[in-house]
Chain A
Amino acid sequence: GQNIDQPTEMTATEGAIVQINCTYQTSGFNGLFWYQQHAGEAPTFLSYNVLDGLEEKGRFSSFLSRSKGYSYLLLKELQMKDSASYLCAVSHEAGTALIFGKGTTLSVSS
């Protein structure tokens, strides 16, 4: 079966760094996506990893280890607007729908 695990909730303060972990067990692997979703809004794309290593994009970075079935999203210099749900999703086969984790709700406080 397909399984994606990520923590349910995390809290952090403004200016801090937070790491959101994601582990996956899927029948195949064709890439891992991270999305941000504010309450009542559409998920918006943050990052995509298909090869092992770190992808950096401004304040956000994402890491992938295919051998360990593991990824993390790193958010630096946290801002209040970063309070949202962060969704880890795996493409298990080219062209098929993404499989999502349950999401991690991040609360950033001042």
Chain B
Amino acid sequence: DTGVSQDPRHKITKRGQNVTFRCDPISEHNRLYWYRQTLGQGPEFLTYFQNEAQLEKSRLLSDRFSAERPKGSFSTLEIQRTEQGDSAMYLCASSLETGSLPYFGAGTRLSVL
């Protein structure tokens, strides 16, 4: 499978715990995006990378959220001290170059109890 893959697909955690999600983009795609999507809403932009550089962060990305893409390939999104409001689908997308079509992964669904 050469699409965008995300792991895990589902994560259930207790409030206050830390969680980390992984995204593997399509090979050679140098742009990688993280979005959050809640029920009945469209995806909301969180952050994006050009290779290993994090170029933009949304104001939605609080201090408890951190994203990395250390080698310009896979990326991780960590949420510290999770809150119930963090429950959502976290989507990753990648694209080849500036302005080209982003392809989405199936997402990681987070439930915070």
A interface residue numbers (CB < 8 A to B): 4, 8, 30-31, 33, 35, 40-45, 48, 87, 89, 91, 94-103, 105
Q: A35: which B residues are within 8 A, CB to CB?
A: 104
Q: Are A95 and B45 in contact (CB under 8 A)?
A: no
Question: Out of A8, A87, A94, A105, which one reaches B99, CB within 8 Å?
Answer: A94
A-B contact pairs, 11 of them (CB 8 A): A31-B99, A33-B101, A41-B106, A42-B104, A42-B105, A43-B43, A91-B99, A95-B98, A97-B56, A102-B40, A103-B42
Q: B45: which A residues are within 8 A, CB to CB?
A: 97-99
Q: B35: which A residues are within 8 A, CB to CB?
A: 97, 100
Binary per-residue interface labels of chain B (40-61) against chain A in the complex, 1 for a CB within 8 Å, 0 otherwise:
1111110010100000100000
Residue of A nearest to B105 (CB): A42
B interface residue numbers (CB < 8 A to A): 4, 31, 33, 35, 40-45, 48, 50, 56, 91, 98-99, 101-107, 109
Q: Are B99 and A102 in contact (CB under 8 A)?
A: no
Apart from A97-B45, A102-B42, list 8 A-B contacts with CB within 8 A.
Answer: A42-B107, A43-B91, A96-B56, A97-B33, A98-B45, A100-B42, A102-B41, A103-B40
Give the distance in Å from the alpha carbon of A52 to the alpha carbon of B52 in the complex: 36
Q: Are B105 and A100 in contact (CB under 8 A)?
A: no
Residue of A nearest to B33 (CB): A97
Q: Are B31 and A103 in contact (CB under 8 A)?
A: no
Q: Are B99 and A95 in contact (CB under 8 A)?
A: yes
Q: B42: which A residues are within 8 A, CB to CB?
A: 4, 87, 89, 100-103
Give the distance in Å from the alpha carbon of A35 to the alpha carbon of B40 in the complex: 15
Q: Are B105 and A45 in contact (CB under 8 A)?
A: no
Give the distance in Å from the alpha carbon of A100 to the alpha carbon of B99 in the complex: 15
Residue of A nearest to B95 (CB): A95
Q: A30: which B residues are within 8 A, CB to CB?
A: 99
